[in-house]
Amino acid sequence: MSEGITRRQVLALGAAGAGALAVGATGLVVSGLSSQVGTPESGPVPGPGGGAWAEPAVLTSQNGLLELDLRVAEANVLIGGSAVRMLSYNGTVPGPTLHLRPGDRLRVWLRNELGEPTNVHTHGLRVSAVGNGDNPFLRIDPGQTFEYEIDLPDDHPSGVFWYHPHQHGLVADQLFGGLYGAIIVDEDDWSDTAPRVVVVSDVTIAGGSVARVAGVDRMLGRTGETLLTNGLVAPRLAAPSGSEQRLLVINACASRYLDMGLAGLNARLRGLDSGHRDEELVDRVLLVPGNRADLVITTPARPVDLIAAGYDRGQAGMGMMGGPAAMVSDALMLTVTPDASASVPDISPPTPETHPDLRDVTVDGTRTITMQMGMGGGMRFLIDGRAFDPDRVDQQVSIGTVEEWTIRNTSPMDHPFHLHIWPMQIIRAEGAETAELDIRDVVDVPAGSSVVVRIAFDRFPGRTVYHCHILDHEDLGMMGVIEAG
Ligand code: C2O
Ligand code: CU
Ligand code: CU
């Protein structure tokens, strides 16, 4: 660990009380475009950022095992200098970073101290979804503790992953409330090569707690007024001018697309999601919700702002009527600042991609998945004409096959498509063949377009899900069940 990095990035001011949940308007049904538009009460907004860099505490596996208690509870955390009632894993926002190695076992004792059910999902890990593994159908009720056991295969790729709740109907509320944390799979022991973990989220604060959202915000996908980097408002990342730093960036926002402007940082992209690539210079990287980037930057001679540029995800209205737009404006993620006295860890060498190139294989089957928005008792969020039903299997696939999926979006809004367990290789997007080996577990499907991916169902029989990673849309039904056998 280098000097100058505080492991504890937010101060837990006290234990959770027994009061009502600050967030979590559960079961709100969207019934119209404008009938439930509400104005959140105004309250103290986070003060100016620019504070010192900090990262979540790191928990590292020992002898093939990382075992931890993960307490899900309300906590008072400091956001931009004021105490805010949020949801947290182990009292901090984000929760602890879990540092694993391929072949490890992750044992999590999830203790639910919320007033509503929750569970946890290890986003992007290539692990089994059955039993007490990465099973999104589990429901951990208030007061319960559940033992998750997640086994990483020996050939699990290194990279950056993350964890968050997956309790259908409550996912966006719980994530927006503060429940997310990083998972890094890396052979390295980080004694002198620890990467910078950069967990980006957004939140709206009203009256000292997380704002409830109106129906229209659920339809659009809620975006928070305040962008947080490791729970901090626009922190300064200080390092000697000319030094290299490796950033593992996670888009943990409920809905916000992070269109990261990297000009002036000599940024080289090493990987997206669990995929690795030959380093390439980039001045922009788009991370849709759930996406991660592995980046190496060079600290400039004067401070450079890393800004998530304004983005237009389309609109919730149908047809000529238009409707509310899903737009955000520029937001400052962090400022890279030269500081001769700061020390930086070394950069570990890049990892070559080991995923087979599925462009070279014969596919065993094709299918089309259509993400739709429709009217009918309010705006409905559907896949192939249906809303999520945990008791229905929507796609049955066979272990040992490779499939080509065309993922269509017939709606006027962008939807980031996510498949659990099995990564997708992008074959064709925006009408063009993909030039490189591009492995993702969340693929953006812009409004009115389609993307073609290939998926190797090479292992892990069982049932899991695919869904829009605008988590409000997932909660509203834009999710399906896949069974591999
Ligand atoms: Cu990041 Cu099914 O989720
Ligand atoms: Cu996931
Ligand atoms: Cu969506």
pLDDT in tens, 316-367: 875 545 678 889 999 999 999 999 999 899 998 888 888 999 999 999 999 9
Report every protein residue that has its C-beta within 5 angstroms of ion ligand 2. Answer: 123, 420
Query: How far apart (Å, rounded) are the C-alpha atoms in residues 53 and 36?
Result: 39
202-338 matches 21-189 in CATH topology:
yes
Residue 370: count other Cβ atoms within 10 Å of its Cβ: 16
Does residue 473 line the site of ligand 1, with CB under 6 A?
Answer: no
For the entire predicted model, the pTM comes to 0.90
Query: How far apart (Å, rounded) are the C-alpha atoms in residues 440 and 274?
Result: 7
Residue pair 414/448 in contact (Cβ under 8 Å)? The answer is no
- 410-435 average pLDDT score: 96
Closest-CA residue, ligand 1 atom 1, reads: 123
Domain range list for the chain = 21-189, 202-338, 358-484
- The predicted pLDDT at position 363 comes to 98
Higher model confidence: residue 416 or residue 33? 416
Model confidence at 32: pLDDT above 70: no
Q: Please state the atom number of ligand 1 nearest to the C-alpha of residue 136.
A: 2
Query: How far apart (Å, rounded) are the C-alpha atoms in residues 17 and 44?
Result: 22
Model confidence at 38: pLDDT above 60: no
Length of the chain as a residue count: 485
Per CATH, the number for 358-484 is 2.60.40.420
Q: In what order do the strands lie in the sheet with 479-484?
A: 395-397, 479-484, 462-468, 415-419, 442-445
pLDDT confidence band for 43 (50 / 70 / 90): very low
Does residue 418 line the site of ligand 1, with CB under 6 A?
Answer: yes
- 21-27 average pLDDT score: 26
CA of 108 to the centre of ligand 3 (A): 30
Fold observed for domain 202-338: Immunoglobulin-like (2.60.40)
Residue pair 408/414 in contact (Cβ under 8 Å)? The answer is no
Q: In Å, how far are 199, 236, 433, 460 from 365, measured between CA atoms?
A: 37, 49, 19, 18
Q: Which ligand is in closest contact with the Cα of 290?
A: 1
pLDDT in tens, 214-231: 888 999 999 999 999 999
Looking at the DSSP bridge assignments, the partners of residue 210 are: 205
Fold observed for domain 21-189: Immunoglobulin-like (2.60.40)
List, in sequence order, the alpha helices (H) in 72-205: 171-177
